Amino acid sequence: MVSSNDSIHSAKLSIESGGENVGKIQTSGDNNEYVVIGNTKYLRHELMQAFGGSLNPGLSPPPKHNFANPGPLGLSAFALTTFVLSMYNAQAMGITTPNVVVGLTFFYGGIVQLFAGLWEMMVGNTFGATALSSYGGFWLAFGAIHIESFGIVAAYADNEDQLPSAIGFFLVGWAIFTFMLTLCTLKSTVAFCALFSFLTMTFVLLAAGEFTGKVAVARAGGVFGVITAFLGFYNAFAGVANKTNSYFVPHSIQLTRT
């Protein structure tokens, strides 16, 4: 609790801690060395900063559990699947058939990423659970489009001209969702925010390519997707690498100071 002698300053930050929605963070002490979240007072250095490697976009207390960090697993599944699909979208090496990515969309980008999202929920990371579980669902849905037994493409057999627009709407919906998540990363790190920013543009360009039928636009979406994949790999590496296991430890550049 904060004593009446503490000078309290309100910081306009939205945060969720311990299942309790908090409208603002308060700081106290002579040098604002204390942060008050809800009814609990923490030393500033004890709190987790916004960090892509932990898929945490805001200031929060460290989770009290003995689980490993599921963020790098989910980010790796997302990045690898995105890389392979985006190389196809960019038509690298002249490849125009995407079916090699179907296995990844189901087993790695889909199922593994979905599990990582559920584990994020267990450790109390709402953002990570929402992002990873949702994109796991995206990859499963995308893979289903390319499986004949699902009958999705066959349903447009009599109206083939409608299929590109239908896929376009599918991608627009994911662009809207990703933009929403991007807004939640504006107070995090450069690499973390860049990941979701480039992913948003990837969905927008791929949707535009479907609506317009212009190959150049779709290929641009593929290029943005490749960049997104490498940003995903970087954030995953940032969550795994530390001074005890690697000579190379990524340095996080904060977009804002809290």
- Taking only the tens place, the pLDDT of each residue in 134-176 is 999 999 999 999 999 999 999 999 999 999 999 999 999 999 9
User: With 50 as the cut, is the pLDDT of residue 244 above it?
Assistant: yes
pLDDT of residue 61: 63
- Taking only the tens place, the pLDDT of each residue in 4-33 is 444 434 443 333 344 444 446 677 777 666
This prediction has a pTM of: 0.77
- What value does the mean pLDDT take over residues 203-210? 98
pLDDT of residue 143: 96
Mean pLDDT of the chain: 86
User: With 80 as the cut, is the pLDDT of residue 237 above it?
Assistant: yes
Identify which has the larger pLDDT, 151 or 251.
151
Q: What is the SS3 assignment for the chain?
A: CCCCCCCCEEECCCEEECCEEECCEEEECCCCCEEEECCEEEEHHHCECCEHHHCECCCECCCCCCCCCCHHHHHHHHHHHHHHHHHHHCCHHHCCCCHHHHHHHHHHHHHHHHHHHHHHHHCCCHHHHHHHHHHHHHHHHHHHHCCHHHCCCHHHCCCCCHHHHHHHHHHHHHHHHHHHHHHCCCCCEHHHHHHHHHHHHHHHHHHHHHHHCCHHHHHHHHHHHHHHHHHHHHHHHHHHCCCCCCCCCCCCCECCCC
Distance CA 204, CA 85 (A): 16
- Taking only the tens place, the pLDDT of each residue in 40-72 is 776 666 666 677 777 878 766 666 667 889 999
Q: Which long-range contacts (CB under 8 A, 24 or more apart) does 141-150 make?
A: 141/170, 142/85, 142/105, 143/101, 143/102, 143/105, 143/106, 143/110, 146/98, 146/99, 146/102, 146/105, 147/102
Confidence band (pLDDT; 50, 70, 90) for 185?
very high
- Taking only the tens place, the pLDDT of each residue in 88-101 is 999 999 988 888 99
Domain boundaries, the chain: 9-47, 71-240
Percent of the chain with pLDDT over 70: 80
